[in-house]
Amino acid sequence: MTSHRLFLNSKFRLEIIAGVLLVAVSVLLMYLGANHILDTKVYYSHDEAMAYFNALGTTGTENYKLIALLDLFVYIPAYTWLLLLFAKRFLPEKYWMLVLIPTVFDILETSVIYLFLSGYLSNFPVWTGYVTSIKWISGAVIVLAIGANLFKRNPRSD
Q: What is the pLDDT of residues 28-71, one digit of tens each?
A: 777 777 677 898 899 999 999 999 999 999 999 999 999 999 99
pLDDT of residue 27: 81
Q: What is the pLDDT of residues 77-128, one digit of tens each?
A: 988 988 898 888 888 888 888 999 999 999 999 999 999 999 999 999 999 9
Distance CA 155, CA 35 (A): 33
Write the CA distances from 49 to 9, 87, 92, 110, integer angstroms. Answer: 45, 33, 38, 13
Nearest to 98 by CA among 134, 51, 151, 44: 134
pLDDT of residue 112: 98
DSSP assignments along 112-154, one per residue:
HHHHHHTTS-SS--TTHHHHHHHHHHHHHHHHHHHHHHHHHSP
pLDDT of residue 68: 94
Asked if the model's pLDDT at residue 155 lies above 70, the reply is no
Asked if the model's pLDDT at residue 21 lies above 90, the reply is no
Distance CA 89, CA 146 (A): 9
Q: Mean of the pLDDT values across residues 127-146?
A: 94
pLDDT of residue 29: 74
pLDDT of residue 96: 87
pTM of the model as a whole: 0.81
Q: Mean of the pLDDT values across residues 9-20?
A: 69
Distance CA 93, CA 25 (A): 29
pLDDT of residue 117: 97
Identify the residue with better confidence: 112 or 145.
112
